[in-house]
Structure 1
Amino acid sequence: MANKGAQEEWSTGFCGCFSDAGSCCLTFWCPCVSFGRVGEIVDQGTIGCCIHGTICCLLGVTLHLAPAIYLWIYRNKMRRTFNLEGNDCADCLLSCFCFHLSICQQYRELKARGYDLSAGWAANVHVQSGGATKAPTFEGGMNR
């Protein structure tokens, strides 16, 4: 988690979708998949991509504004985790009225921070740790 000093700028602007055509297309055609991937990384794998995507989709089918509230919670959580510029009100408005752009910006931000969103949280941890699953052990202990 980032410290609470000066807020960092987002890696791309809110309307910078065309800087990454892949995430732009994914978010336009399958926003629940795109959001599911973002949610899994933001939650550090405690809730999987499929669960986030399904919840978002079901909320969209059953209740009109509910997915926007769900997206707002995760935009806010991500912004606070990485100490990104913005505020609660802006997060709410962007998630409610421009949810495709909001998801796409979050997706690009995580990619810019080195995450492979299609791989999921566990694979990202594995890559960032260099494939280590536990601390190395030495036979015979430590000697001087």
Structure 2
Amino acid sequence: MEKGPQNTQPQPTQQMILPPGGGNRNAKNLPVDSEGKRAWSFGLMDCFGDMNTCCLACWCPCLAHGRNRRRLDYLNQNGVPDPNRESVAGEDSVIYAIIEVACDMGWILQIGTRRNIRERYNIQGSGMSDCCAPFCCQACDLVQGSREIALEEESFFANKTSQA
């Protein structure tokens, strides 16, 4: 069986859609140092800039910590914001509450979360600063971390709006 010349073109295939690798991790375009590190987008004492999180962190730090942890873990695992990012309940909240009630040291869990936030966003700091911030002011640390995560989450929606 002899085949004639092929005059058909290949059909287009659907492009593979990869999940995004993250939003803008330096949404305020802060300058970076020679090591590629930058300052926090908000100061430790800028907690009144987000009154909802500030109140939550002051009155129920276990819920604020659990929410920060869940949002950060979701971003790290999925590359997109947690669809339930406003929800405050989570398993990390229970662990924090138990430690806080038992020995008033829930802030210890914030050390690892603060380090993870610094690493994700290439923020200047050290293990000592990761320890001192939550020890000196649990609420300030929780709000600062929440606001940093929120900047990246908001960048996803800003990019969607500008592309439409």
Pairing partner for 2:144 from 96, 99, 105: 105
Output the CA distance in 2 between the equivalents of 1:13 and 1:33: 22
Name the counterpart of 2:80: none
Partner residue, 1:44: 74
Cα pair 1:14 1:101 within 8 Å, conserved: yes
Q: In structure 1, list runs of 5 or more residues that go unmatched.
A: 116-123, 131-144
> In 2, Cα distance between the equivalents of 1:68 and 1:34?
11
**Displacement of 1:62:** 1.2
Gaps of 5+ in 2: 1-21, 26-33, 78-87
RMSD (Å) for aligned C-alpha atoms: 2.9
Change (3 A) 1:49 1:10: farther
After superposition, give the CA deviation of every residue in 1:50-109 in whole Å (9 maximum; x if it has no partner): 1011111011011233x2221111111111121112111011011112111101110111
Question: Could you tell me how far apart the structure 2 residues matched to 1:97 and 1:114 are?
Answer: 27
Deviations 1:33-61 (A, max 9, x none): 11111001222277x95101111101101
Out of 99, 119, 129, the position equivalent to 1:59 is 99
Question: Within 2, Cα distance between the matches of 1:31 and 1:69?
Answer: 12
Identity, % of aligned pairs? 25
User: Is the aligned partner of 1:22 residue 2:40?
Assistant: no
Contact 1:40/1:49 (8 A) holds in 2: no
Partners of 1:38 and 1:107 within 8 A in 2: yes
Which is greater in Rg?
2
Equivalents in 2 of 1:24, 1:95: separation in Å?
A: 14
- Say whether residues 1:12 and 2:51 are aligned partners: no
TM-score by length of 2: 0.62
Q: Distance in 1 between matches of 2:150 and 2:71?
A: 11
1:80 to 1:49, Cα distance in 2 relative to 1, 3 A: farther
Length-normalised TM-score, structure 1: 0.69
Match of 1:91 in 2: 130
